[in-house]
Amino acid sequence: MITGPPGFDKSRVLHAFADSAVRSGATHLSAICLRNEQNISLGVIHQVSQSLSAVPGETPPALKLLQEAVFNAGPRGIRPEDLNWIGVTHGLWEIITNHARHGAVLITIEDVQYADSVSLDILLHFINRLHSANVFMVFTVNEGPDGVPLRIQSDLMHHPQCRRIKVAPYSSSTISRIAQARLGIGPDDPLADAIHQVSGGNALLVRSLIEDQQNAGGDQKELVVDDGFSGSVRTLLNRIGSTPLRVLRAAAVLDASTSPPLLAEMLHIKQPAVVRTLEWLAEIGLLGMDGFRHPAAREAVLDSIEPDVLKELYGRAAQLLHATGVQPTVIADHLVAASTKHEPWALDVLREAADQALATDEYELAVRYLRYAADLCSGTDERIQVTLALAKATWRINPSTATMYLPMLVQAARDGRLPARDVHWLLTCMLWHGQYDEAEEMFALLEQAEQDEGQEAGGAAAWRLAADHWLASTHPPVLHRLRGTYKPAPLREGSERHPALSYARTISALAANLRNGETEAALKTAEKVLHSVQLEGCNIELVEAALFCFIYSDRTQEAASLVENLCAVAERRSSPTWLSVLAAFRAHIAELRGEMMEAVEYGELSLRTLPPRSLGVFAALPLASLIEAHTEMGQYQEAEQYLRHPLPETVYQTRYGLHYLFARGHYRVAVGQAHAGLSDILKCGTLMRSWEIDTPLLIPWRLGAAGVSVVLKNNARARKYLELHHALPHGHSPRIRGFALMVLASAEEVGRRPPLLRKAVDMLQESGHKMELAHALARLSHSLAALGETDKARLIGQQADRVGQRCHAEPLRRSVQHAFESDFGAIAAGNDQNALSPAEYRVASMAALGYTNREIATRAHITISTVEQHLTRIYRKLGVNGRNDLPRLFSSKEFGTSGGGVLVADDSRHLPGSASVPG
């Protein structure tokens, strides 16, 4: 008798023994017992008889009697009086013993616990006569939680003729040997331990895991658990019996909450029986100390349950878990899986579970709970609150999806069922998607709430003020339609103490920055917010306003650092909306700083995380950055692809649309459509003036128009735009001043350009905006070349090429390379570069560019005497007669630098903190 749990290779042991016996000349008679054939009388004996040989043309009487009995058996089986017991039993035994006279006879029965009772009686008759015949019998039997079936135990296992072989699970060393042979792994490979851990030594599961590894192919370092394993688990489910199957299914439903008391109550089974069953399920490799050994095993069990039965189990589990007071999220998971109506407590549990999920940034889970909770709501106010929570949670995942909940909430706002804070949130949602009619209605409701007497009036006033400032700075046409001008109504008494007022002040800082050039106060407010803000689903415009305060103050380095910190928080919180928005900011900042590859990387990340449709009108910002970056890099087809992205028509009524228009204008000029490009730029100007946010720190449209006018050979018009720019009361940052000087130089006679361009280079170096710096250097190089100062022009051209290379600005690089027919990126390193100290190198480079000793001293923060001493040593080390030889030497291929011949800020030969390019 070979015994053991299902999947322990009992049949393989039996077949191996039978094959060996047949090779030795034995006659093999066999039968396989099946659970669903247990009621077929004589089914097993009939299988055995099929293997018996007879005299040709003659059927022994016993076989005839057996065949007749099987043929005549009714639905209830064979009655004792219908069977010639003695004739069948004695006759069959006689046939078997006749075979045994010519050699051993082996009778094997698989899963004898499923044998029909009549066959079992006949087999027992044979067993009682084994001592007198050359006949051997080998049976396999499954051991369940309570051992083997009682009759098998009493009649067969305890029979004097019986010898029992109990099959044990594979040990870790056995599995290691099998894995080495089948998978070619080493003896210490952790893969073998992983197979042992997941299978529990169950032979069937071990084989399936090895097959999964083989099917996966390649050199797998980690265990692959795939369809083979899941299929083997399902096979075991058909073999373990009804009670273990019920316990296993209930354990799969309860999952981490599984315990013997809960299982006993859920299944109405006595607890000791549950404990025995759990221990047995652990023995056969399905369960471990903490539940299922692998999630795939649990999934296979759940997949085996009929949907209606599974829902019923989840519902029963939810009731029991609620009674025991476990975590709301655990109960909620079971409630949602049951997807049926429940007791009144279900709604409260689901809402509490959603709050917990949001607190741990599990937004998808929170949405799942809230969707189900919405179906359980019975009252209007209840449904509104759940829908509001659902909309806010969904917004963090995808703002476009959240719009499906907004109509109901808008109606609730109209009915006065929402507080001012939530009406303000609805307003921002409508603005995000460019739904201005609804946005104006929400604004009117805020104003109406402000006029009402009561506790909410002060809060409504504060939220209305925040909306005032946000509309003025980001959606000016909406405010103009509502009010005609930006004059925030004064706050009513009590508003100054409301928490929403600090929110409003941050938004107002952006408005003040754009309208009045108020920088320092705006930055203080913005920095405070960005260091303390929580990335929630209803304060995106707060973070936007604070970041734009830095960007529109030309503090892009600080902005980049602040965004990076926020991105780290967003990564931990895993909100797609926040990740997309912050990636868009990183793209915009990178583009402003001339870091074009980074701008493309972050812009693509933003649109990959959320498509433009989900980003609403805000999508114009990352699209603008991508268009600008690809244009500067000469990748015009890529830029054109982003121009094809559809945007809401209302985007041109937003501040984001200004960035998009300016980027499109830049692209059109670059591809030879200068008039169309100028039209876009001038449209920016028209909108900015009418919206009263006309600052070059937002969009330097006058400088852009002046630059295009130069391209169109209309220098007079260019000077007109430059004059208009210089008349502005604010917005003259180093970047804008440098840009203005560069454009002004382009509109001047060539002889007047170098001084202006040198100043532009100084300003742009100070600002840290590399792209404009590269353009200024390139123009300075071309100007010097036109004036015949070839050596200086070549040196400046090399610098422009190096800065342009770092910006990946290929059109600019081609312009300076073609001008001098020289490969500026491959300046060979000579023998003289290491002769100069970093301080000497810097002085030499400025002297080569024509700076006086006084100018060098000022820029290097040293005395004139020190400059003179440096120059004396430089001439001696380089073997030149004076400073007039330096331009030739610095531009020649015989003199290189560790930075590739380009004098830039991060060149290792520069003094710490030195300016990157001497003007």
| β-strands 291-292, 287-288 pairing | antiparallel
Span 2-166 CATH architecture: 3-Layer(aba) Sandwich (3.40)
Residue 40 confidence (pLDDT): 83
What are the structure tokens assigned to 823, written together?
A: 């490969």
Q: Which of the pair, 845 or 441, is modelled with greater confidence?
A: 441
What is the residue whose two structure tokens read 């905006």?
769
Q: What is the mean pLDDT of residues 643-665?
A: 96
CB 581, CB 540: distance < 8 Å: yes
CB 767, CB 554: distance < 8 Å: yes
Whether 686 shows a pLDDT value over 50: the answer reads: yes
DSSP 136: E
Residues of the chain above pLDDT 70, percent: 89
Backbone angles phi, psi at 534, to 5 degrees: -100, 135
Q: Which residues contact 247 (CB under 8 A, 6 or more apart)?
A: 263, 267, 269, 274, 277, 278, 281
3-state secondary structure of 110: strand
Task: Provide the pLDDT confidence category of residue 110 given band limits of 50, 70 and 90.
Answer: very high
Nearest to 757 by CA among 736, 735, 775: 775
Which of 253-267, 532-546, 588-602, 613-627 comes out lowest in average pLDDT?
Answer: 532-546
Whether 774 shows a pLDDT value over 70: the answer reads: yes
Nearest to 757 by CA among 737, 770, 742, 778: 742
Residue 373 confidence (pLDDT): 93
Residue 92 confidence (pLDDT): 86
- What is the C-alpha end-to-end distance of the chain, expressed in Å? 98
Task: Provide the pLDDT confidence category of residue 860 given band limits of 50, 70 and 90.
Answer: confident
Which of 148-162, 177-191, 654-668 comes out lowest in average pLDDT?
Answer: 148-162
Residue 455 confidence (pLDDT): 54
Task: Provide the pLDDT confidence category of residue 901 given band limits of 50, 70 and 90.
Answer: very low
Residue 496 confidence (pLDDT): 58
Task: Provide the pLDDT confidence category of residue 916 given band limits of 50, 70 and 90.
Answer: very low
Q: How does 132-147 read in b/e, with b if 16+ C-beta sit within 10 Å?
A: ebbbebbbbbbbbbee
Q: What is the mean pLDDT of residues 828-841?
A: 60
Q: What is the mean pLDDT of residues 731-749?
A: 89
Mean pLDDT (the chain) is: 87
In the chain, the amino acid numbered 697 is L
Whether 822 shows a pLDDT value over 50: the answer reads: no
Q: Which fold has domain 828-919?
A: Arc Repressor Mutant, subunit A (1.10.10)
CB 421, CB 536: distance < 8 Å: no
Domain(s) labelled CATH 3.40.50 in the chain stretch across: 2-166
Chain segment 296-337, per-residue pLDDT in tens: 999 999 999 999 999 999 999 999 999 998 999 999 999 999
Nearest to 562 by CA among 527, 513, 594: 527
Q: What is the mean pLDDT of residues 668-675?
A: 94
Chain segment 487-540, per-residue pLDDT in tens: 665 555 555 566 778 888 888 888 888 888 778 888 888 888 888 888 876 789
State how far the Cα of 92 lies from the Cα of 824, in Å rounded to an integer: 102
Give the DSSP H/E element, type plus range, for residue 506. Answer: helix 500-516
State how far the Cα of 564 lies from the Cα of 567, in Å rounded to an integer: 5
Q: Per this entry, what is the length of the chain?
A: 919
Nearest to 448 by CA among 463, 433, 429, 470: 463
What are the structure tokens assigned to 753, written together?
A: 């350009």
Chain segment 129-164, per-residue pLDDT in tens: 988 899 999 999 998 898 777 888 888 888 888 999
Task: Provide the pLDDT confidence category of residue 914 given band limits of 50, 70 and 90.
Answer: very low
Residue 435 confidence (pLDDT): 94
Provide the β-strand partners of residue 137. Answer: 107
3-state secondary structure of 631: helix
3-state secondary structure of 291: strand
Q: Which of the pair, 722 or 69, is modelled with greater confidence?
A: 722
Distance of CA 629 to the CA centre of its chain: 25
Q: Which of the pair, 817 or 726, is modelled with greater confidence?
A: 726
Residues of the chain above pLDDT 90, percent: 60
3-state secondary structure of 141: strand
Q: Which of the pair, 98 or 394, is modelled with greater confidence?
A: 394
Residue 53 confidence (pLDDT): 53
Q: What is the mean pLDDT of residues 387-407?
A: 95
State how far the Cα of 877 lies from the Cα of 879, in Å rounded to an integer: 6
- DSSP states along 531-560: HH----TT-HHHHHHHHHHHHTTT-HHHHH
What are the structure tokens assigned to 646, written together?
A: 């559809």
Residue 753 confidence (pLDDT): 94
State how far the Cα of 127 lies from the Cα of 1, in Å rounded to an integer: 12
Residue 72 confidence (pLDDT): 63
Residue 495 confidence (pLDDT): 53
Task: Provide the pLDDT confidence category of residue 477 given band limits of 50, 70 and 90.
Answer: very high
Residue 702, judged by CB atoms within 10 A of its CB (0-12, 13-18, 19+), counts as buried
Chain segment 775-811, per-residue pLDDT in tens: 999 999 999 988 988 888 888 898 899 999 999 999 9
What are the structure tokens assigned to 244, written together?
A: 């273990």
Residue 196, judged by CB atoms within 10 A of its CB (0-12, 13-18, 19+), counts as buried
State how far the Cα of 730 lies from the Cα of 725, in Å rounded to an integer: 10
| β-strands 165-166, 287-288 pairing | unpaired
Residue 66 confidence (pLDDT): 72
* Helices and strands of the chain, counted as H and E runs: 47, 7
pTM of the model: 0.77
Which of 57-61, 78-82, 223-227, 633-637 comes out lowest in average pLDDT?
Answer: 78-82
Nearest to 783 by CA among 744, 809, 826, 811: 744
| β-strands 27-32, 2-4 pairing | unpaired
State how far the Cα of 912 lies from the Cα of 435, in Å rounded to an integer: 52
Domain(s) labelled CATH 1.25.40.10 in the chain stretch across: 557-647
Task: Provide the pLDDT confidence category of residue 33 given band limits of 50, 70 and 90.
Answer: very high
Q: What is the mean pLDDT of residues 227-239?
A: 95
The CATH superfamily label for domain 557-647 reads: Tetratricopeptide repeat domain (1.25.40.10)
